[in-house]
Amino acid sequence: MLIAARRRGTELGAVPIGPGGGAMLRFLAASVSARAVVEIGTGAGVSGLWLLRGMAPDGVLTTIDVEAEHQRAAKEAFVEAHIPPNRTRLITGRALDVLPRLTDGAYDVVFGDAAKGEYPDYLAAALRLLRPGGLVVFDNALWHDRVPDPSARDPETVAVRELLRTVRDDTRLVPVLLGAGDGLLVAVVRD
């Protein structure tokens, strides 16, 4: 299932999370007994499958992607993995248009892996959506090793650096930067 989803993602140009990052997503979802997760950037369903594997058996994954083709590929992956349809809610649309319509404080995990330039805005939305003790997680926190390179000044790298600084300095969060995959930024919302 994961191999087929990974292949579809690569074909669509939606680079899937690697096995190390995926295993960490599963672990993080399990560590908070996640029942409600928001995923920003569905891709072909690879990260969604990892999250669902760690979530409570009745947990619901709400996954947002601007590309309808990505949503179709993810739905196919979820069907192949025998995920009951009531455990996933796929929303096609721009994340910054969809996120304001989701319920405040109702989510255990918010995972961001979409437009890197919008990461700081995703963080603001996540802080509204997460319950105390919830986790905000961002993939590509090292952005292909460009983040630590001071000469890298492209908009995506600058946005990821801004996200890292903001999370580090926000007293509502307890962050950690994990070296899994292309880097996972994880922060727990303080009670």
CATH number at residue 29: 3.40.50.150
Q: Tell me, what's the pLDDT at 15?
A: 82
The reply to whether the predicted model has a pTM over 0.85 is yes
Please check the confidence at residue 4 and state whether its pLDDT lies above 90.
Answer: no
Q: Tell me, what's the pLDDT at 108?
A: 98
Please check the confidence at residue 103 and state whether its pLDDT lies above 90.
Answer: yes
Q: How far is CA 47 from CA 4, 19, 181, in A?
A: 13, 9, 12
Q: How many domains does the chain have?
A: 1
Provide the Cα torsion 40, 127, 135, 146; round to 10°.
Answer: 60
Determine the average pLDDT of the residues in 148-152: 92
Q: Tell me, what's the pLDDT at 38?
A: 98
pLDDT per residue as tens digits for the range 6-36: 788 788 888 888 899 999 999 999 999 999 9
Q: Which two tokens stand for residue 185?
A: 């930024």
Rounded CA-CA distance 146/78 in Å is 33
Rounded CA-CA distance 54/81 in Å is 14
Range of the domain at 178: 2-189
pLDDT per residue as tens digits for the range 63-86: 999 999 999 999 999 999 999 999
